[in-house]
Structure 1
Amino acid sequence: MNEPLAERLRPKTLNDYVSQNHLVGKQGSLTQHIKQGLIPSMILWGPPGTGKTTLANIIATESGRPFYTLSAINSGVKDIRDVIDKAKQSGGLFTTKNPILFIDEIHRFSKSQQDSLLQAVEKGWITLIGATTENPSFEVISALLSRCQVYILNPFNKTDLEMLLRRAIDQDEYISRKIIKLKETNALIRLSGGDARKLLNIFELIVNSYDSDKITITDESVLERVQSNTVHYDKTGEQHYDIISAFIKSIRGSDPNAAVYWLARMVEGGEDVKFIARRLLILASEDIGNANPTALVIANNAFQAVSTIGYPESRIILSQCATYLACSPKSNAAYKAIGKAQQLVKETGNLSVPLEIRNAPTKLMKELGYGDNYKYAHNYDLNFANQEFLPDEIKNTKLYEPGNNARENAHKEFLKQRWKDKYGY
């Protein structure tokens, strides 16, 4: 029994595939493509353990196409060309079922490696399926990205993960021989982090740790038996997201000491400097925002600098940025404001723009009253004119609540002076 449980339970058909209903449910976009026999080149983007490799295999099987696979970690341009040559010989343009080339971790391909795929994708010699845990907008060249559909795979939810556990207990050749009572699942699910492969690996570890064939699994027994080895950092596996999470939360919690520790773990593990810098850039806006607008400037400069320099010097720039952000005042007011605004849009739909603030580039629009009664703020005292800018249906709605810090307290005072009681500042 050398094959891991996750591999033994790997689905072979769409009917067996768990989760991602938006893609492979009855009305899912990929389900429709498979039924029609028209498989576009695509990028599957999602965290580890969400079924990207499995899905690629199923697409090839159910569409009856030859299937080639490469890993971006150990494949070069020559390997790509060899596969493309085989694909061309097996049919290419002369069959409606051109071969599928699956490339795992396509974000690790260099520009030249990605360039070598362009003609084959464009000519239809292959259908490319790339899998990535990173945002393809940053990691896949625009020419290749424009030729592919991007499909997002989500972390498994609790129901999906519990279904996988039940499937393991009922269907696996080895585990089904044991009498297993799954009394509690919270610890297993929490440790998995939505990663199906990690869940099944932990579950198998737990089951094999018992001498008896009669097993009762509780949260306490799981935590007792799982031995977490945090000495090594696997930038391609499970700890990738755990450690970046610890890094970000340390900065959010204003602890520069913990921040540089987790940074060092990533640096020593050879983590991509741009991956770290992008997370700092997001944090500067999400967790600091208007409490210290300079944080975003520094994070952006750090991103540009490490993109140019690389290791080993980038570690210094990342350390400077991380410690600065950790020592900065915090506010998530901007983050919360856009969240509220998006929810309001979903609830209220496409409300009309008030006539007075509409654009009026044509004579007809002017005749219809577009832009009438618009008050140009600079023509008024303090460069402010009391005017309604929201649709009538949601006027007076406050979405931005400044945080309690020096800079945003000044924002609040500014808004209170201008708008009086309108928004309740």
Structure 2
Amino acid sequence: MKDVFASAKLGPVTLRNRVIKAATFEGRTPDALVTDDLIEYHRAPAAGGVGMTTVAYCAVTPGGRTDRHQIWMRPQAVPGLKRLIDAVHAEGAAVSAQLGHAGPVANAASNRAPALAPGKLFSPLGMRTTRRPDTAEIRAVVRAHAEAARLAEAAGFDAVELHFGHNYLVSSFFSPLLNRRRDQYGGSLAGRARLAREIAQAVREEVGDRLAVTAKLNMDDGIAGGLRIEESLQIGRWLEDDGALDALELTVGSSLFNPMYYFHGDAPRFEFARVFRPPLRWGLQLGGRAFLREYPYREAYLLDLARQFRHELTMPLILLGGITNKQTMDLAMDEGFEFVAMARALLRQPDLLLHMRRDPATRSLCTHCNKCMPTIFERTNCVLTAAAPATSARCRS
């Protein structure tokens, strides 16, 4: 069995261990640029022992953000990203940039730019109808990913993670429910997977073997008519055969229709409603149980689905979901996964890994209340921990 705390190769990068801080939007970039608050957010788990931390979310275009406060990859962002990377490297960890386009999850009103989707649909996030891009616009999105990867390399990132999950743009193209196109980017599964494969190839061609390239891939959308695991497995096979990726991080769920599917645990309906303005607030108050469904929490809750990918693929896989103690990490290694990714447990305790190394029986203090979820719209934090001054707090708009 692999030792989760031993060094490991991720493509061309050597990580000091097999634990990755997963991408979770930080809510600490009010001007869409790096702040000292964001730097500290990533420095803390690096000092706490993770092998790599993931900066989220670095959009490839201004309209590809979920709202206008998020970083989008442009030359003006590079100096701040360099400061962040230097701070993380000084603690001995590597850094990855999560690159993607939010697609139908983008708030068009906040971004002051149309939200893209495979076809037209009404998005309650921006109270707008999404726009169906033509082939030229889709190819521009592919180029934008390559350009964002180039800027990530210039900033000094060790890796990039491509966002192919949660019904963001690429994931929405996978979905039979959302993608009713009849051109080369729709119809058959091969057509619906074309955008992902083109993006992965374009990014690999841009960065060569100088950066690790991973992708966060939905195994199951968790909605009727959405992507299911049988089709996702085939997409995984194609991505493996294409050879552009160094690893897949396996996830589930839909930010549009079923976000709790990738969190599990308590559904913070009241806290979510309080963050948003009417009429979205009213909608959550009235229909919150349909949108924020409850899935009982258990350790390694995505393992049963991810195990099917491990049986089918030979490429490195990153297990996500309910990784909070050394026993679960050892289980992941025993099951053949190369890395594990953690989010909420590290938000609760950035130094959790240091405690685990001293005492393997250490248990996370995270209660899976998920009240951290609504804080992403102001300043991501664990509500059970005394928060530092909100230097970049803002309201959802």
Q: TM tier, shorter chain? A: under 0.3
Higher CA-based Rg:
1
| TM-score (normalised: structure 1) | 0.25
| TM-score (normalised: structure 2) | 0.27
| RCO higher in structure (CA 8 A, sep ≥6) | 2
